[in-house]
Structure 1
């Protein structure tokens, strides 16, 4: 009898063909069988491509271009305000219907008085911002655009200062931690 026999007991088992690694269930079922599985398996290519493009864009902006969140938010706000402004001015000039921007919808009965107050103030702010962006107040429009642009640049400066101060405090904290003496190892 030879020491090594090439056949084994597992050769007698029948594994289903077409399933990677001999699994019993389809991959769609393993991934949950819902919309997430459809996106991950590219069954709806438009949604999967849009998701991949969006995530790649976010990664590019934060990692490669090194935007921080507030700067990006300010630049998005500037772009949105410019689009609404141009749309509003064009609507007046060409006789089109002005842009209809919905108010924030929320169930006011579900919130407490404090949340209601902040909600009310935010809606007032948003209405004023949309009023300005709609081309009704060009002077304030340009002031808001300039303010958002300056804010987006200043955030980088102040965030850098806070990071430097935080690292100094952290280094001072580390220096206050008592350390024992280090014994050298004997090499034989």
Structure 2
């Protein structure tokens, strides 16, 4: 977002200094996750959103139980593998090699290393916030968690997770498409908040009587 510069006159319009910044795709990692969130691969992004919607519908709306769904998926998978294996033998084809595809050592190692790196980075960020190095960020995190706890008491955890996934899956793409308009509104909103605070400070806060400050000996 452009940096805002305010003058002493409250009626002055906000000014922004233009500076180069990294593209949103690079800020999101620049890999497949960024492609999915920014809808660079529309079929994959739509598939992820459709899968999350189906899961939310089954558990939240249809009240499907997890153990029942797991058993039904296992039964369906076993039937598909059974039919595929027998049909492949009759047609002189190779049977499916699912374990070698799913449990590939190289793919599993890459996934483990990537998960370990992201987990370590996340824990490091949480530790920096909790240690209070940035007091503003610490208070913002506390307030955000408090708001999330209130929202979580009003709806189920699954609906909250689905709503969060829906926002993560759509807002970055919308921001990339309407970046100039969003930045303009953000600059205007920040300027209005700054003006409101200065008026509140001059009309209310400065008029609050304060006792004399005793000098420390």
* TM-score range relative to shorter protein: 0.3 to 0.5
Identify which of structures 1 and 2 has the higher relative contact order when contacts are C-alpha pairs closer than 8 Å and 6+ apart. Answer: 2
TM-score relative to the length of structure 1: 0.39
Greater gyration radius: 1
- TM-score, normalised on structure 2? 0.35
